[in-house]
Amino acid sequence: MHPQLSEHNQEQCIEAMRALDKCHNANSFNKFLGLCNDVKIALDNCLKEEFVVKRAENKAKAAEKRARMEKIWKDIEEPPADFGKQQQ
């Protein structure tokens, strides 16, 4: 099972998606008889590779965001060094 296929979302797998569509459209029984399985496996492998790349990118973005948020939390929790001088 693979996600909803759209060319703008899975740019690296466009050729594999088109090949699977072509195989399915060539004869409506191809997909039921397993004649398109090789093409589908190639598409699944392409989508897995793309998923791994996107997951790594999202992990890096999340780490950056987490570091920014931890800095903000640290700044909120720790009063500035001159905090006591301002109140006197």
55-82 mean pLDDT: 90
- Asked if pLDDT for residue 55 goes beyond 90, the answer is yes
- Higher pLDDT: 58 or 14? It is 58
**Using CB atoms within 10 A of its CB, is residue 5 exposed (0-12), middle (13-18) or buried (19+)?**
middle
Rounded to the nearest 5°, which phi and psi values hold at 45?
-65, -40
Q: What span, in angstroms and rounded, lies between the C-alpha atoms of 14 and 9?
A: 9
Evaluate if residue 1 carries a pLDDT over 60: no
Tokens of 23: 């195989």
Name the token pair of 38: 């090789």
State yes or no: pLDDT of 68 exceeds 70.
yes
Helices 37-77 and 14-26: angle between axes, nearest 10 degrees: 140
Query: What is the overall mean pLDDT for the chain?
Result: 85
Question: To the nearest whole percent, how much of the chain has pLDDT over 90?
Answer: 53
